[in-house]
Structure 1
């Protein structure tokens, strides 16, 4: 299941979410403008290297502790940054508006730090830099699940080869399935060899669920139940009882 949009509108403008997306894209464009060797050097300087975090090697450019945060805005490929920003676009606004801008920014950074440390602890001698916003975004997903477990999410599925369908399912199913996949993949992965940082996803997600009750506004309840919705198969969209159309993804 690959999420493409949700139908869970909230009043307000998620300025911090938009700003994080803009910064990540700008940093990636800067990376792409560098020669290949300089781009690799930038990942080493601003990525979170486990061996450096735990004191067995030295890095330059910024203090070692700061790489935990700079690494959240670095990405290794177009697919890497694109997938991460899509998830943040879909789920970040609801979480930001449930917390407020300043709290959300602190929450995002704390979840990202927890995710980086969770991954680094799996292979503390690794010299492969950890980069990407996925750990912090995993925290956003964990918070979204706790606040909006019944939010409706539109996902792409491929039940048969070359046959793609769009279905609408509760976020509990989408995000619960996503977490299980990350956890099982983490059990079979070797953090010292690089690749997808599954334990960062697991650590960030758990941090998001733990921190959501602390960072959310007092008037925002947990485990919210959404307004009943009706799926019209003839139109291929979803309506509220009042006839309101679905909330679209970034390209709609």
Structure 2
């Protein structure tokens, strides 16, 4: 749809977005070290050990002992630090890099950690409910990143963002148009798409969580919708 490149939006409350940087580093380390940069056997094993499997999460089935690395309930968060391939990782981390720092700035470091994990959990829960009984594991930070997109859109709809439209056309547009279109695209696919490898329901869960949580978790005095800009 589009590739975000840069937003003209400085930081007002934190000197450095260390949590955003740390999350990007953690995802990269897991992929390149633990998942061995996408080797098929390792990817499959990690997806079943740390990914979110609806049938296992709801205690309908059990994993074999060698795959039972963490409690089933923990996979509601651990799945968000795994990725299926390099492009999956790169896409999620690019969105996190461009939009995460301003959401972290609006909340502070500790609240941003809580926010990120809660959005990941909401995305995982939405996927599990939409695919109740499925044995297909969910991996990827998309649910958490969708929450960041929703929060950013509620905080800074008027900020200009540089994007590559259709992967090649550079444009500078307001966030309300760019991210608003992205949200509509996610909802449309969640309603209409019946096949494919994208967990649209996880994106919707993350979007809803992000839109709701930004209201109580933002710093006192931080306005919504660029009021006063």
TM-score by length of 1: 0.83
Aligned equivalents of 1:96, 1:34: Cα separation in 2: 29
Matched, 1:112 2:128: no
**8 Å Cα contact 2:9-2:159 kept in structure 1:** yes
Q: Following TM superposition, by how much is the alpha carbon of 1:187 offset from its aligned partner in structure 2, in angstroms?
A: 1.3
Q: Counterpart of 2:108? A: 100
Q: 2:214 aligns with which of 212, 219, 234?
A: 212
**8 Å Cα contact 1:151-1:226 kept in structure 2:** no
SS at match of 1:85: helix
Q: Counterpart of 1:221? A: 223
**8 Å Cα contact 1:149-1:225 kept in structure 2:** no
Whichever structure has more helix as a proportion of its residues is: 2
**8 Å Cα contact 1:4-1:90 kept in structure 2:** yes
Whichever structure has more strand as a proportion of its residues is: 1
| CA 1:33–1:201: 2 relative to 1, 3 Å | closer
Matched, 1:127 2:135: yes
Aligned equivalents of 2:32, 2:228: Cα separation in 1: 38
Residues 78-110 of structure 1: CA deviation (Å, up to 9, x unaligned): 000000000000000000010000000001000
Identify unmatched segments of 5+ residues in structure 2.
Answer: none
Residues 171-212 of structure 1: CA deviation (Å, up to 9, x unaligned): 11111100111111111233xx66101111111011101110
Write the mapping of 1:136-147 to structure 2, written as runs, cut at 5 A. 136-147=144-155
**8 Å Cα contact 1:51-1:125 kept in structure 2:** yes
**8 Å Cα contact 1:150-1:225 kept in structure 2:** no
SS at match of 2:221: coil
Q: Following TM superposition, by how much is the alpha carbon of 1:167 offset from its aligned partner in structure 2, in angstroms?
A: 1.1
Write the mapping of 1:58-69 to structure 2, written as runs, cut at 5 A. 58-59=62-63, 60-69=68-77
Matched, 1:170 2:174: yes
Identify unmatched segments of 5+ residues in structure 1.
Answer: 228-252
SS at match of 2:220: coil
**8 Å Cα contact 1:151-1:225 kept in structure 2:** no
Q: Following TM superposition, by how much is the alpha carbon of 1:119 offset from its aligned partner in structure 2, in angstroms?
A: 1.3
Matched, 1:28 2:31: yes
Equivalent pairs counted in the alignment come to 221
Q: Counterpart of 2:51? A: 47
Task: Note the aligned Cα RMSD (angstroms).
Answer: 1.7
Matched, 1:57 2:61: yes
Aligned equivalents of 1:8, 1:39: Cα separation in 2: 36
